[in-house]
Amino acid sequence: MSPTVAFNSGVTMPAIGLGVFQTAPEETVAAVQTALELGYRHIDTAAAYLNEREVGEGLRRSGVPREEVFIETKVWVTDYGYEQTLHAFEKSAKKLGVEQLDLLLLHQPLTAKFERTIQAYKALEKLLSDGAVRAIGVSNLVPARLDALLAETDIVPAVNQIELHPYNIRAELQAKNTAHGIVTQAWSPIGGIRSYNGEPTNPLNDPTIRAIGKGYGKSNAQVILRWHIQQGRSAIPKSINAERIAQNFNVFDFELTNDELARVDALDTGDTLDIDNLDTESFGIVIDEA
């Protein structure tokens, strides 16, 4: 069973969840069902992944009671604004087939139109106070954007989900989250982003990580997930392969030393995808009605 991380509100979340970013709808049901059968109790999706319906279907097919599974999703930028974001919750909940969400995030800031991001967050605050969601948070907020959000809103986000893996450890942003009692959740936690981007090296074939794993009989992915857990983060590795889904959950029976954790930290390249300045509205992603 995954250890949990506790939010500033007292709600807890299993540290390791299954990610379904880039999981095609037709592969999602099986991936979610497999993960839940293997013991995962946390699934991370997003309206913009266009697979919320299939996540819901996987949950139902698994037979695991709804209340045992932590379901997290994200509002896409085209649904930002107070009323629009309240409606975005309805769309996501209906597609997932659940009445209440465990965690609802803003997918990323609309930096050039930040007021709409603020209005969207105020809608999350309303959903939280109404009990429609158990926790609220953000994703891809850099320190300056987090400061701006905190200055204009009442409830400190439970989570800031950011790109974070051994080649990109975001030390300043992690420290910022921690200072505010915000849980850091890693997306692309094992470095998948680098292979999607065609980089020749990524943490999954890093020799330092391989050498550490050898001592424990663990793969690079397992060492990296352990590194996240031991540093207090949540991580949501994506896989559609049953063996790798299992492997990514077999990380609770060994312990890295402080020296090994530091050796992984030292792999940082500082190379981060600059989402803060992306014009994500122009991606053309449409979040349909449920």
- Which position among 40, 49, 121, 167 bears the catalytic label? 49
- Does residue 110 bind ligand A2P (CB under 6 A)? no
- Does residue 247 bind ligand A2P (CB under 6 A)? yes
Stretch that binds ligand A2P, among 70-78, 171-179, 187-195, 258-266 (CB under 6 A): 187-195
CA–CA distance from 90 to each of 28, 85, 119, 251, 290 (Å)? 21, 9, 17, 35, 8
- Does residue 58 bind ligand A2P (CB under 6 A)? no
- Does residue 14 bind ligand A2P (CB under 6 A)? no
> Is residue 49 annotated as a catalytic residue, yes or no?
yes
Which of 56-90 are b and which e, b meaning 16 or more Cβ less than 10 Å from the residue's Cβ? bbbbeebebeeeebbbbbbbbbbbbbeebbbbbbe
Stretch that binds ligand A2P, among 84-92, 106-114, 173-181, 233-241 (CB under 6 A): 233-241
Stretch that binds ligand A2P, among 77-85, 151-159, 242-250, 252-260 (CB under 6 A): 242-250
- Does residue 188 bind ligand A2P (CB under 6 A)? yes
Distance (Å, whole) CA 100 – CA 217: 40
Applying CB under 6 A, among 157, 166, 213, 237 the residue interacting with ligand A2P is 237
- Does residue 108 bind ligand A2P (CB under 6 A)? no
Is the distance from CB of 179 to CB of 143 less than 8 angstroms? no
Stretch that binds ligand A2P, among 44-52, 62-70, 140-148, 240-248 (CB under 6 A): 240-248
Site string for ligand A2P, 139-178 (x = CB under 6 A): ----------------------------------------
- Does residue 17 bind ligand A2P (CB under 6 A)? no
**Residue 155: which region, alpha, beta or left (left: phi > 0; alpha: psi -120 to 50)?**
beta
Name which of 155 and 240 has its Cβ closer to ligand A2P.
240
- Does residue 59 bind ligand A2P (CB under 6 A)? no
DSSP string, 5-57: EE-TTS-EEESB-EE-TT--HHHHHHHHHHHHHHT--EEE--GGGT-HHHHHH
- Does residue 66 bind ligand A2P (CB under 6 A)? no
Nearest to 18 by CA among 197, 283, 247, 200: 247
Range 189-228, binding ligand A2P (CB under 6 A): 189-193, 195, 204, 219, 221
Is the distance from CB of 228 to CB of 181 less than 8 angstroms? no
Name which of 174 and 247 has its Cβ closer to ligand A2P.
247
Least distance (Å) between residue 171 CB and ligand A2P? 19
- Does residue 34 bind ligand A2P (CB under 6 A)? no
Catalytic residues: 49
* Residue ranges binding ligand A2P (CB under 6 A): 19, 188-193, 195, 204, 219, 221, 237-241, 244, 247-248
